[in-house]
Amino acid sequence: MHKNIKENNTDYCRNLIKTHDPDRYAVSLFAPAKSHAALWALYAFQHEIAKTREIVTETQLGLIRLQWWREEIEKACRGEVVKEHQVLTPFVEAIQSHDLPVALFETVLYAREFDLEDVQPENLDGLIHYARYTNQPLLELTQMICGQDIDSNACEHLGIAYGLIGITRNTLGFARQRRCYLPSEMTKEAGIKMSKLYEGHPQEGLSAIIKVIVTEADRHLDIARQSGLSHPLRALAKLTGLYTRHMKECKFDPFHKAFMDEPHFKLVRLI
């Protein structure tokens, strides 16, 4: 690949995640410098598939978009030439240079199909499964790119913790899109009205649901930490812990004025 094109693609991926996925961008800075370009391409891919639900008007269109990514990844894993694309091209280079397995990408793509169904997870276990399958493969791929041995147990529990925290932090953001990832079993028991949530009205019982989910995230985070995480996963664990403590300070209330605030001196506190 021409050097200027390669650099432009790397810059594009870096700027994309710096803008749209600042958490993963911050975490990537704790990886070896030689791993940055591949990580930014991986996280740019994550952004591209995660936004599918937001940019399509029909479920079938979303499935077609995810299938396009699936087919291009399969080609890349077979060593075939793929289409020129500002994210796909550097992403394929990362796949081929680090011998990344197609099975991990298939897991993430399958999990993202759930987004297109516009249904809540049935219960807490369902939400945990979603958090796991949308995050664990990315963490294992991160370890591979950084030249580390895969610690599946740590990646599983850290992926669940980070996923649950991300979902609860963005409760109102999802609601504005008329989406809800809080378990239907819990919202029904608490008497939460979806119409009121989507219209942005506070409801008694919402904070209690978030507290249960955050407590579960904390439990998984503790398990992950016992594995003796190395950077950049250590940085992600620290960031997850910062968000957890902040949500506790806001009494788990998504309508609290500071609920979505970023931690002060975030990068320094991840060291």
- Rounded to an integer, what distance in angstroms lies between the CA atom of residue 237 and that of residue 55? 30
| Residues 234-251, mean pLDDT to the nearest whole number | 97
Cα-Cα-Cα-Cα torsion 198, 202, 208, 211, nearest 10 degrees, comes to 70
Question: Is the pLDDT at 4 greater than 70, yes or no?
Answer: no
Categorise residue 191: left if φ over 0, alpha if ψ from -120 to 50, beta otherwise: left
Asked if 239 contacts 270 with a C-beta cutoff of 8 angstroms, the reply is: yes
Domains of the chain: 1-118 (no CATH), 120-271 (1.10.600.10)
- Taken in order 235, 237, 241, 244, is the CA torsion positive or negative? positive
The pLDDT tens digits of the residues spanning 13-38 come to 999 999 999 999 999 999 999 999 99
- Summarised one tens digit per residue, pLDDT across range 62-114 is 999 999 999 999 988 888 888 889 999 999 999 999 999 999 999 999 999 99
Average pLDDT over the chain, rounded to an integer: 95
Listed residue (161, 158, 183, 177) closest to 247, CA to CA: 161
Percent of the chain residues past pLDDT 70, beyond the cut: 98
What confidence tens digit (pLDDT) does each residue in 153-183 have?
999 999 999 999 999 999 999 999 999 999 9
